[in-house]
Amino acid sequence: YEAATTLVSLSSNPVAVKAAAVCLINLIVDEPDNNIKVIVLERLEDLHLNNQGMFNDLAMDLLRVLSSPDLEVRRKALHMAMDMTHQGNVQEVVQALKKELTKSQEQGYEQTNEYRHLLIRTIHSCAVRFSEAALDVVHALLDSVDDFNTSSAVDVINFVREVVEKFPALREDILQRLLTTFTELRSGQVLRGALWILGEYATDLVTIDATWSTLREAVGEIPMVAAEQRLLEEAEAENGEANSSVEGTTTASTAARRVLPDGTYATESSLTAAPASGTRSDHKGLLKNRPCIRTLLLKGDFFVATALANTLVKLMVHYAKVATDTGLINSRRAEAMLIMTSMVRLGHSSYVTNPIDEDSRDRILTCLRMLESGSQAEPQSAEDPVASEDFVNECRVAFTRLLAEDDRAQASRAAETPTSMVQPDELIGFSQLTSKADVGVTDSYEVDVLRATGDAVRTDTVSKLGTIVQLTGFSDPVYAEAYVNINQYDIALDVLVVNQTSDTMRNLTVEFTTLGDLKLVEKPTEHNLAPHAFYSLQAHIKVSSTETGVIFGTVYYDGPGASESNCVMLNDVHVDIMEYIKPATCDESRFREMWTEFEWENKVSVSTQITDLRTFLNHILKLTNMSCLTPENALSGDCGFISANLYARSIFGEDALANLSIEQHKEGPIAGHIRIRSKTQGIALNLGDKISLGQKSVTVN
């Protein structure tokens, strides 16, 4: 590591810089310590940012880091590999990612679901950036979508939806592959996404016919209630002889020992009646033979029924525009109305696990009225503006706006990323002519030289004086103070010890103990301290998680006498959790998934003197080092309340979520609460304490 860093500081030759990068990658792959992996990855990322385009051939080498079991190491490696991906190596990168995705299904990785989600998102970004790889990626993911869990399959469907919208030339092939795998889908959320895609983009006659046949196969026989009744009767007939007991019940005998009033024992028997198999209460045993949509309906998932009703209406609108046979149009419309009516009747029958809810029922009936009103007009006419606008155009426009908003957000984040590009009219800096105040415009070698010679300019905010902690009092025989330098994964304590007595302190040693996920690397050595003399020592502490730690200390020394031993207790040193939490971003679906998954929650009531909602939100963001995931347009306006989602990630890969819900009545104080969730208890509690203290210490301008 030192050799690679020194080589980069001594030479900016592309061959030398690339050799240093290869050395760092090999170090990441071979080093077993995850903290060292992350540190070297960050150094490699800085090197990549300062030498844009020089490491594009190292993307495949960097993907070897995915063999590490740590999720944060994998995330950093994938993020950097995407920056190194270009037209020449995108196919190799995608193939490597697909192999890694297959491997994650076959082997039991730690945090498998999160890693699979990360791989799918990375493949997604590759396909969106490079259209030549999109079709192969979509086919590969759709072929194995039934092997994924629900969250990963939803990521695949969302990815397919975006590709279909952004690349019209690939729509026909993607829709055909989606229709091939449609009947294998088993998740309601995935089926809803697939139904939306088919309803929006199946616009030509051939695709509509294929979609209609696939949906009829997924729904099964209609009318549904009559079909289920017939299947149930057939099952009862097959099992009737085997279960021919009195009134269709079977009895089971159980015996138990009881104590009588006189103290003797007796045996008590009981008979339990159980319904025979094949009745409606055992109807769920037949679900394994049902099509995918019919199975979900029988389980009570009628949200899928509303998605199917919307898709049928969209297909009929498209079909009426391209078909010429009026009789066939009316026949297909009647079939769609029969499917909707059957779903409503099935929802009120005894064959479903949960009855249909009112919202789903109203939505299906609305779609039914749309088809009914369309049948009263000419099929090819546009006399039904609601169907053509609300069920077709408006949905597509809303999705297009959503994608445009995401593209703008990515473009803004890319614009904030520093680049090494130099404008044609930019000044050339010569080290001999550069002032001390312009250290920031020089390269890393010049900065190192200025630091080594002591000529670097320090500001008050980064001065050591701001981080010095007094460990003992001025009246103690030993005065001690420490400069606390927190460098991500390590804490360095530079301790100054002063002998304030007129006697020599023999065998003086400073011992530290830690509370929390802190570990003392080495123990300071003993030292003899002359009267009124001083000396400095260093202690290094390793940090392994994002929790507020406490460092305790004691000074031991021997006095002039042979048996005289003394000790001085040191003040506690608290390590702030904010040193390890950094703002981060994630999509809404991932935020909701983590919110449901995380078990530790801390609810903090709002009590502040701030009278403006946006000012309070900005204050919380600055206080907690979190980023706001809620779009700016959702926070704009003056409505008297704000609900926002906040997100941050620690340098150890731990996620911190927060939801802020506040309101203000006229000119009164702000009321509400902030809910914090995380996977570990320490982050939730410490962030809550930080917010509580920050609310009380704020002053109103």
Return averaged pLDDT per consecutive 10 residues of the chain, 701 residues in all: 80 82 87 81 83 79 84 85 83 84 69 78 82 78 72 82 85 88 86 90 90 90 83 75 47 52 55 42 57 88 91 89 86 91 89 88 89 59 51 75 75 61 66 50 51 47 66 90 78 88 89 80 84 88 74 87 83 79 83 86 87 86 88 76 89 85 81 89 85 71 47
Q: What is the spatial distance between Cα 562 and Cα 15, in angstroms, rounded to a whole number? A: 65
Structure tokens at 176: 């055909």
542: β partners: 490, 519
Residue 238 belongs to some domain of the structure = no
Instruction: For the sheet with 534-543, list strands across it.
Output: 468-470, 478-487, 490-499, 534-543, 518-520
Phi and psi based region of residue 255 (left: phi greater than 0; alpha: psi -120 to 50; beta: remaining): beta
CB 484 within 8 A of CB 467: yes
Residue 232 belongs to some domain of the structure = no
CB 601 within 8 A of CB 590: no
324 plus 379 within the same structural domain: yes
Q: What is the spatial distance between Cα 50 and Cα 86, in angstroms, rounded to a whole number? A: 18
Residue 93 CB partners (closer than 8 Å, separation 6+): 59, 60, 63, 81, 85, 126
690 plus 671 within the same structural domain: yes
363 plus 480 within the same structural domain: no
302 plus 367 within the same structural domain: yes
501 plus 367 within the same structural domain: no
Cis peptide before 223 (omega within 30 of 0): yes
Residue 65 belongs to some domain of the structure = yes
Rounded (5°) CA angle 496-500-501 = 140
Residue 409 belongs to some domain of the structure = no
112 plus 207 within the same structural domain: yes
377 plus 519 within the same structural domain: no
493: β partners: 484, 539
Q: What is the spatial distance between Cα 45 and Cα 304, in angstroms, rounded to a whole number? A: 45
499 plus 628 within the same structural domain: no
User: Which pLDDT belongs to residue 211?
Assistant: 92
Burial 263-283 (b: 16+ CB within 10 A, else e): eeeeeeeeeeeeebebeeeeb
User: Which pLDDT belongs to residue 340?
Assistant: 92
597 plus 659 within the same structural domain: yes
Residue 628 CB partners (closer than 8 Å, separation 6+): 617, 621, 635, 644, 645, 646
Domain of 519: which CATH number?
2.60.40.1480
Number of H helices, E strands in the chain: 24, 18
438 plus 519 within the same structural domain: no
Question: Locate tokens 């320090």: which residue?
Answer: 458
Structure tokens at 57: 């051939």
Rounded to a whole number of angstroms, the distance between the first and last alpha carbons of the chain is 49
Phi and psi based region of residue 247 (left: phi greater than 0; alpha: psi -120 to 50; beta: remaining): left
**Burial (0-12, 13-18, 19+ Cβ within 10 Å), 289:** exposed
- Show the domain range for 442: 431-457
Number of domains in the chain: 5
**Burial (0-12, 13-18, 19+ Cβ within 10 Å), 11:** middle
272 plus 204 within the same structural domain: no
Q: What is the spatial distance between Cα 318 and Cα 427, in angstroms, rounded to a whole number? A: 61
CB 178 within 8 A of CB 159: no
Domain end (from 411, 439, 457) = 457
Domain of 158: which CATH number?
1.25.10.10
Could you count the other beta carbons within 10 Å of the beta carbon of residue 27?
Answer: 17
**Burial (0-12, 13-18, 19+ Cβ within 10 Å), 123:** buried
CB 249 within 8 A of CB 275: yes
CB 547 within 8 A of CB 689: no
Residue 307 belongs to some domain of the structure = yes
Q: What is the spatial distance between Cα 146 and Cα 382, in angstroms, rounded to a whole number? A: 39
CB 281 within 8 A of CB 350: no
Q: What is the spatial distance between Cα 413 and Cα 420, in angstroms, rounded to a whole number? A: 16
Total residue count of the chain as it appears in this document: 701
Q: How far is C-alpha 500 from the chain's CA centre?
A: 55
107 plus 253 within the same structural domain: no
pTM (predicted TM-score): 0.67
User: Which pLDDT belongs to residue 161?
Assistant: 87
Residue 234 belongs to some domain of the structure = no
CB 508 within 8 A of CB 495: no
CB 150 within 8 A of CB 190: yes
